[in-house]
């Protein structure tokens, strides 16, 4: 048997490096990409490839027809692994998580911390906009 089959691919090596810092992450793997979700809606979605890492922030997209939100993510930054090695993987991911958490604002009515995709405006969630402001979504 070929000994090379036991060696990690670069994408596996990079994914394992990330998971060393975030072992509780949710992982989905295809042949060439690992999708790693850290801290749910308040965290970050990472797309790890052999060459780079995409740091993506959770969001929703509104579907046609059913008019219902579906989980999605949006690009925040894409860095090659050589850039990551300079900055440190945990630090870069920490910056992405801090960026996402800074997007949350407190609803003036219910007091909940709400991300932008679930707000009517900067300080009112969609539910309270319907209840208190008469907004129809």
Task: Please state the domain extents for the chain.
Answer: 3-103, 104-137
Which among 53, 44, 74 has a CA at the least distance from the CA of 11?
A: 53
Which among 68, 12, 17, 73 has a CA at the least distance from the CA of 40?
A: 73
- DSSP letters, 44-85, are EEEEE-SSEEEEEEEEEEEPTTT--EEEEEEEEEEEEHHHHH
SS3 101: helix
User: What's residue 1's pLDDT?
Assistant: 36
Sign of the torsion formed by the C-alpha atoms of 60, 38, 100 and 118: positive
Measured between its terminal Cα atoms, the distance across the chain in Å is: 61
Print pLDDT tens along the chain (137 aa): 344 456 889 999 999 999 999 999 999 999 999 999 999 999 999 999 999 999 999 999 877 766 778 899 999 999 999 888 777 999 999 999 999 999 999 999 999 999 999 999 999 999 999 999 888 87
Q: Which tokens belong to 13?
A: 């090596």
Q: Using an 8 Å Cβ cutoff, are 75 and 56 in contact?
A: yes
Q: Using an 8 Å Cβ cutoff, are 119 and 105 in contact?
A: yes
User: What's residue 3's pLDDT?
Assistant: 45
């Amino acid at each position: 048997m070929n000994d090379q089959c036991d060696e990690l691919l670069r994408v596996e090596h990079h994914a394992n490096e990330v998971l060393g810092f975030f072992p509780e992450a949710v992982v989905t793997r295809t042949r060439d990409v690992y999708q790693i979700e850290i801290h749910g809606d308040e965290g970050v979605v990472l797309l790890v490839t052999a060459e780079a890492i995409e740091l993506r922030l959770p969001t929703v997209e509104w579907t046609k027809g059913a008019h219902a939100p579906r989980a999605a993510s949006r690009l925040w930054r894409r860095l090659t692994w050589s850039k990551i090695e300079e900055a440190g993987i945990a630090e870069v991911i920490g910056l992405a998580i801090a960026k996402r958490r800074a997007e949350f604002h407190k609803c003036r009515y219910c007091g909940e911390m709400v991300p932008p995709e679930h707000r009517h405006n900067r300080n009112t969630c969609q539910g309270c906009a319907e209840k208190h402001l008469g907004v129809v979504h």
